[in-house]
Amino acid sequence: MELGTFYLRFRKSSYEEFVKELPQISEEYFKSNFMCVNERPPFVIDNKIGKYMPAKSSKIIFTTNTYKDLAVGQENKMISNRWKVTYPHTVRKETVL
């Protein structure tokens, strides 16, 4: 599962009417969230134990700055991402994985 947050900035834009329902965190910035469920996460090597483990993103943050309906700079620029390793192992006896 991926959790993402978009911080959207609209200045002198006709799109402002479409984001009125989003939470406004400052005078110009709005906050939007998304959730994406991945069927199969990518595998990475856990350096602590030297095994392959499924990894998933825990938090991704993007920002978009618009002025007069045009993106200023890179649209949906990723400013933060965190990945963590999941351990699909169990300690209970007689459990099928």
| Per-residue pLDDT at 51 | 76
Please, what are the averages of pLDDT over each run of 10 residues along the chain (97 residues)? 79 79 84 76 72 74 85 83 65 54
| Per-residue pLDDT at 33 | 84
Positions of E strands within the chain: 2-11, 29-36, 43-46, 51-67, 70-71, 77-85
**pTM exceeding the 0.75 threshold for the entire prediction:** no
| Per-residue pLDDT at 4 | 82
| Per-residue pLDDT at 90 | 54
Q: Which residues contact 21 (CB under 8 A, 6 or more apart)?
A: none
| Per-residue pLDDT at 94 | 57
In whole angstroms, what is the distance from residue 44 CA to residue 47 CA? 9
